[in-house]
């Protein structure tokens, strides 16, 4: 099952990826995406090996960002692919049907392509400005996510949409109310003054808004 809260690690000078993974796992995160940039392949693989051991201990799914090869070498639970990474159908051929594959997009056309390529979920954004991503695409905002939800419903396309990009705890309710499946969060947790508390607040908000009967597309 695809988690409704994707916790994404990031490159931080004073907070290593492994410490981020440990904090998230100990805090009860059920899904972590290891997003490593600007490092060698060997260092990336070493980080992934350490991360998978921590995640296995806590029963947390580990998704590798960008690299199918790293995901295969450490037997991660899946991979999240950007537009410039390996095509989704090629990754599926290598990883098999039991591994999770997510795709990145910004438009309805991207979502349809991700769905038709056989991905398990689509990470769509950016919702708002985020400093974690270079060459940021145009910001989407709530209205665009609502449009996506309605179009998917009309076209009878079923794929979990994960909103990403500058998301705060206060954004969870309106996004889920628009029919979005879940959220991906990085800076709002790991750059917070109290990361443990921030993680807890996101978990609580996702839980409340998922269990609430108002979790339907708001057509107003």
Work out the mean pLDDT of the chain and round it to a whole number: 93
Residue 210: pLDDT band by 50, 70, 90 thresholds? confident
**pLDDT tops 90 at residue 69:** yes
Asked: is 5-211 a CATH 3.40.1190.10 domain? The reply is: no
Question: What per-residue confidence (pLDDT) applies to 133?
Answer: 60
Q: pLDDT of 25-34, one tens digit each?
A: 999 999 999 9
Compute the distance between CA of residue 99 and CA of residue 88 in angstroms, rounded to an integer. 12
Q: Parallel, antiparallel, or unpaired for β 31-34 and 61-65?
A: parallel
* Residue corresponding to tokens 């990031």: 10
Where are the domains positioned within the chain? 5-211
Compute the distance between CA of residue 191 and CA of residue 28 in angstroms, rounded to an integer. 18
Which residues touch 43 (CB under 8 Å, ≥6 apart)? 36
């Amino acid at each position: 099952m695809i988690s409704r809260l994707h916790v994404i690690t990031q490159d931080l000078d004073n907070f290593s990826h492994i410490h981020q993974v440990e904090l998230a796992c100990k805090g009860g995160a059920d899904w972590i995406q290891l997003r490593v940039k600007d490092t060698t392949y060997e260092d990336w693989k070493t980080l992934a090996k350490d991360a998978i051991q921590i995640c296995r201990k806590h029963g947390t799914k580990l998704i590798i960002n960008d690299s199918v090869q790293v995901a295969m070498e450490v037997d991660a639970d899946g991979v999240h692919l950007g537009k410039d990474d390996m095509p989704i159908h090629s990754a599926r051929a290598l990883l098999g049907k039991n591994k999770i594959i997510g795709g990145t997009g910004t438009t309805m056309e991207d979502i349809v392509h991700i769905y038709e390529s056989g991905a398990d979920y689509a990470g769509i954004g950016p919702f708002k400005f985020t400093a974690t991503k270079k060459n940021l695409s145009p910001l989407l905002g709530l209205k665009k996510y609502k449009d996506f939800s309605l179009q998917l419903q009309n076209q009878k396309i079923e794929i979990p949409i994960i909103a990403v990009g500058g998301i705060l705890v206060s954004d969870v309710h309106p996004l889920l109310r628009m029919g979005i499946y879940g959220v991906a969060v990085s800076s709002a947790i790991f750059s917070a003054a109290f990361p443990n508390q921030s993680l807890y607040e996101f978990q609580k908000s996702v839980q409340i808004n998922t269990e609430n009967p108002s979790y339907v597309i708001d057509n107003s």
